[in-house]
Amino acid sequence: MKQRSYIGLGSNLGDSLQILSDAVYKLTSLGDVRVSKLYHSAPMGPQDQPHFHNAVVELYTTLEPLQLLDQLQAFEQQAGRVRLRHWGERTLDLDLLLYADQEIEHERLKVPHAGIMLRDFVLIPLLDLAPDLTLKGQLLRDLPVVRNSELNVLADCPWIQEPTV
């Protein structure tokens, strides 16, 4: 049975638009997808790095959560993932944000994703896809981080480029 999941996408190294487009294309191999707008955000960690391109994908998949995580990590590696430092530069970052209505506490995976309720670069694109989404009894669009966001839209849908893969 297909389950709805949400995947956060981020990149700030290389041709970020093409890297994220290729990632979305690969995600279509796992199930049906819808894509948020594309955003530009300041880095959350060290400020001496490029700004990020961010989006969220809604994915309907038959994969179980850990299988999905394995695929996301494989896609990151295929994209030549570089992670130089904690909260630093990244070629590609794919985060499993939500999986159905499940709460998962596993040594490899925490769902909902840690910090999801504090990050506008995750919440705003997530709300593009699910404007009435609630989490832990909280309507996400009413969170202060959403109402006070200064996130910049880079592109409306569709922003996906032809895949290079």
Determine whether 93 is an active site residue. Answer: yes
User: What CA–CA distances, in Å, run from 3 to 83, 94, 102, 111?
Assistant: 30, 18, 10, 14
Determine whether 108 is an active site residue. Answer: no
Determine whether 81 is an active site residue. Answer: yes
Report the alpha-carbon distance of residue 27 to residue 68 in Å, rounded. 10
Which of 22, 90, 120, 128 is an active site residue?
A: 90
Determine whether 4 is an active site residue. Answer: no
Which of 22, 93, 120, 128 is an active site residue?
A: 93
Q: What share of the chain is helix, strand, coil (3-state, %, to 5)?
A: 30, 30, 40
For 16, phi and psi rounded to 5 degrees?
Answer: -55, -40
The answer to whether 7 and 54 have CB atoms below 8 angstroms apart is no
Which of 95, 119, 120, 128 is an active site residue?
A: 95
Report the alpha-carbon distance of residue 92 to residue 83 in Å, rounded. 9
Which of 4, 34, 81, 141 is an active site residue?
A: 81
User: What CA–CA distances, in Å, run from 52 to 42, 65, 86, 88, 157?
Assistant: 6, 26, 15, 10, 18
Report the alpha-carbon distance of residue 86 to residue 11 in Å, rounded. 14
Kindly list the catalytic residues.
Answer: 81, 90, 93, 95
